[in-house]
A and B are shown apart, each in its own frame.
Chain A
Amino acid sequence: MDCGKTEEAEEVRELPMPPLIQLADVTKVYHLESGDFTALNHVSLDIRENEFVAIMGPSGSGKSTLMNQVGILDVPTSGELFIDGENVATMTSLERTHMRRDVIGYIFQKFYLIPLLSAYENVEYPLILKYKKRDETGKAAAVLKSVGFDEQMSAHRPNQLSGGQQQRVAIARALVNDPKILLCDEPTGNLDRKTGFQIMDILTGLHKEGKTVILVTHDPKIAEYAHRTIELDDGKVVES
């Protein structure tokens, strides 16, 4: 399978590659009681495969809204958004759910592990969603190991793990279905500095393996890991 993939990639490389994520004049307006609030204002943006992008900006600048759009948790009010060549607006709710499961891996600031499942089960969960059966291939355990998670802790529930351990489990969960895109929303925000850099090392390694990493952060030190920084202010891209 891997051989086939490489050949395919080489063929494609000769043609101009379409962006993996493309926002064309995307606007997102929230209708609030106090009036309409424009969170994204005519944003156009291309992110190509295997880019490592940091999104920065002050609070309320639209970073989270942009992440929700790219993570297809939400749809634009106007404009077009293409993920992996698909127009999000024309997809059904179920198709969007499947794309979230198969194409995108989410890493959150608060880890957001499922509290009722063990560390191992949290990683196994997306595989069950995709294949509708328990993982018998050992993939969940292998991915968990690859992010440096202590195997002996895999039966522990999230509330029995440290922040760094939880974030490793969350990264393993995001990776297990082999997504093209990793969306990281302040992944080091709840961690101490040392653990934060360890997590960033893991993300850097994943980028080297071919993942497209999109990172939202306040921290310029963390943003330095990225190869490109997109600055948002007041719902607009001010620097890309």
Chain B
Amino acid sequence: MRDIFFDLSVRSVRLNFLRSILASIGIVIGVVAISSMGMLGTNMQLSVKSQLSSNVNTIIITSDVVRTTSTAGTPITSEGIDKSTLNDIKSAAGQNDIVPIHRTNTQFTIGSTDGRGSIYGLDPNDIPKFLTIDQGTNIKGGTDALVGPNIAANFNMNIGSRIKIGQDNVSITRPTVRVVGILAARGFASDGVNTDNAIIVPDTWYTDHYGDKDIYDQVNVILQNIDTINQTEAAIDDKVNRRTNIVRISDASSRLSSISSTLGTITTFILAIGSISLVVAAVSIFNVMMMSVKERVQEIGILLSIGTEKGEVRRMFLYEAFILGIIGAVVGGICSFVIGYSVVSAMIGNTSYFFLPDSLIYIPYGMIIGIVVCVVSGLYPAWKASNMDPIDALRSE
């Protein structure tokens, strides 16, 4: 059964169709602003988080001694992580993957162009565990090398290019490596292995030329299960740093959480900006409802005089506000979907998170807020209508 007061409200909205639609457009804009901004913020958060959290499952272990840079042929004198410490780490880390890393900075020459960058010495078997080869293959031979995408682009390197490693010095013949693969871009890697501007060589080549056999600059523990990060870190700390601090243990999770909370603040801020449009919409709904009450004074007088309860008159006007809200929310919801997608696509350039519940939930949020704003804006006009004096109301023309 349809409520007659609902029918009366529907008919009133229909009678003043243009005015009602114009008021609803305000709500449409408000809903679109809130939903789109919310979705933009969430997509931004999810996108940044996923970039950062791709290696958040990695524990970074470095020597507690600050290392100095060195060039090829010059032995490194400072301490690193030695073989026995590595074995301790392995036994403490259980089933997780252990990646020992050699690293230093070096000069190099490609053709006649000199450059400078990082050089990493890695066991070729460890490379696929955390790096992606974009072109070419993994290292097979002892003089094979992989290069990062930026260094490859800057120095016009291709598969087969040869790189002379070390400082150009007439008296020394520099060792040469051959590029067999180019890595995919990593950006700022939170596992401390920044390969975009680096050359990756086999660990055997590295120790042959820089010494440091069985001494590592960094050891990464790649966890199979991110939830075990704290207990694994504690186990390594117990085992290795039992007497003195030999290694420094860190991970990217704290940095990730601080970036996430910053992004959350930004999302709230842009949502607040979106809400301003809803405040404007509320004023317009309020105005339309007041006009509706003013125009229907005599009708309200009739209703009250023949025995309509005040609550029923209130209900009639709240229904009217609710209908305006529903129209605005439904149209706004549909527009939010289209506009939100466009905004996310244009501003983030990645819509892969758009259809996730965390992102789409902003559409129903926006719609509900739109409806609530409408009904709240209708409260005072409805109250005013229900408290009219029926005699005065009947007399008005």
B309 part of interface (Cβ distance < 8 Å):
yes
B302 part of interface (Cβ distance < 8 Å):
yes
Determine which of B4, B310, B394 lies in contact with A97 in the assembled complex, contact meaning CB atoms within 8 Å.
B310
Q: Is the CB of A71 within 8 A of B305?
A: yes
B12 partner residues in chain A, CB cutoff 8 A = 116
On chain B, the number of residues with a Cβ less than 8 Å from chain A's Cβ atoms is 23
Q: Is the CB of B8 within 8 A of A73?
A: no
A133 partner residues in chain B, CB cutoff 8 A = 1
Using known A-B contacts A94-B309, A125-B4, A128-B4, determine if residue A74 contacts B299 with beta carbons closer than 8 Å.
no
Using known A-B contacts A68-B391, A74-B391, determine if residue A106 contacts B310 with beta carbons closer than 8 Å.
no
A93 part of interface (Cβ distance < 8 Å):
yes
The contact string, 1 if C-beta is below 8 Å from chain A, for chain B 1-37, is 1101000100110010000000000000000000000
Q: Once bound together, how far apart are the Cα atoms of A112 and B304, in whole Å?
A: 12
Q: Once bound together, how far apart are the Cα atoms of A164 and B11, in whole Å?
A: 25
Query: Mostly helix, strand, loop or mixed at chain A's interface?
Result: helix
B79 part of interface (Cβ distance < 8 Å):
no
Q: Is the CB of B306 within 8 A of A102?
A: no
The contact string, 1 if C-beta is below 8 Å from chain B, for chain A 96-132, is 0110111000101000111111000100111011100
B211 part of interface (Cβ distance < 8 Å):
no
B11 partner residues in chain A, CB cutoff 8 A = 116-117
B307 partner residues in chain A, CB cutoff 8 A = 97-98, 100-102, 126, 129-130
Q: Is the CB of B299 within 8 A of A173?
A: no
Interface residues of B in 265-317 (CB under 8 A from A): 298-299, 301-310, 312
Using known A-B contacts A115-B299, A116-B11, A116-B15, determine if residue A173 contacts B391 with beta carbons closer than 8 Å.
no
Q: Is the CB of B4 within 8 A of A116?
A: no
Interface residues of B in 354-373 (CB under 8 A from A): none
Find the B residue at minimum CB distance from A105: B306
Using known A-B contacts A115-B299, A116-B299, A134-B1, determine if residue A106 contacts B391 with beta carbons closer than 8 Å.
no
B304 partner residues in chain A, CB cutoff 8 A = 97
B117 part of interface (Cβ distance < 8 Å):
no
Using known A-B contacts A116-B11, A134-B1, determine if residue A126 contacts B309 with beta carbons closer than 8 Å.
no
Find the A residue at minimum CB distance from B3: A128
B390 part of interface (Cβ distance < 8 Å):
yes
Using known A-B contacts A71-B305, A106-B306, A133-B1, determine if residue A112 contacts B8 with beta carbons closer than 8 Å.
no
Using known A-B contacts A116-B12, A125-B4, A128-B4, determine if residue A97 contacts B309 with beta carbons closer than 8 Å.
yes
Q: Once bound together, how far apart are the Cα atoms of A123 and B270, in whole Å?
A: 53
A130 partner residues in chain B, CB cutoff 8 A = 307
Determine which of A100, A116, A134 lies in contact with B306 in the assembled complex, contact meaning CB atoms within 8 Å.
A100
Q: Once bound together, how far apart are the Cα atoms of A94 and B386, in whole Å?
A: 12
Q: Once bound together, how far apart are the Cα atoms of A71 and B12, in whole Å?
A: 28
Using known A-B contacts A68-B391, A117-B8, A125-B4, determine if residue A112 contacts B309 with beta carbons closer than 8 Å.
no
Q: Once bound together, how far apart are the Cα atoms of A126 and B309, in whole Å?
A: 11
Q: Once bound together, how far apart are the Cα atoms of A50 and B1, in whole Å?
A: 37
B305 partner residues in chain A, CB cutoff 8 A = 71, 73, 100, 106, 112
Q: Once bound together, how far apart are the Cα atoms of A117 and B299, in whole Å?
A: 11
A74 partner residues in chain B, CB cutoff 8 A = 391
Determine which of A93, A108, A114 lies in contact with B299 in the assembled complex, contact meaning CB atoms within 8 Å.
A114
Find the B residue at minimum CB distance from A98: B307
Q: Is the CB of A112 within 8 A of B312?
A: no
Find the A residue at minimum CB distance from B2: A134
In this complex, the member of B12, B303, B305 whose beta carbon has the largest number of chain A beta carbons within 10 angstroms is B305
Listed A/B pairs (12) with beta-carbon separation below 8 Å: A97-B304, A97-B310, A102-B307, A106-B305, A112-B302, A113-B302, A116-B11, A125-B4, A126-B306, A126-B307, A129-B306, A134-B4
5 nearest A-B pairs in the assembled complex, by CB-CB distance: A101-B307, A100-B307, A116-B11, A112-B302, A128-B4
Besides A97-B310, A114-B299, A116-B12, 15 new A-B residue pairs in contact (Cβ under 8 A), listed by A number? A73-B390, A73-B391, A98-B307, A101-B306, A112-B298, A112-B302, A113-B302, A115-B299, A117-B8, A121-B4, A129-B307, A129-B308, A129-B312, A130-B307, A134-B1
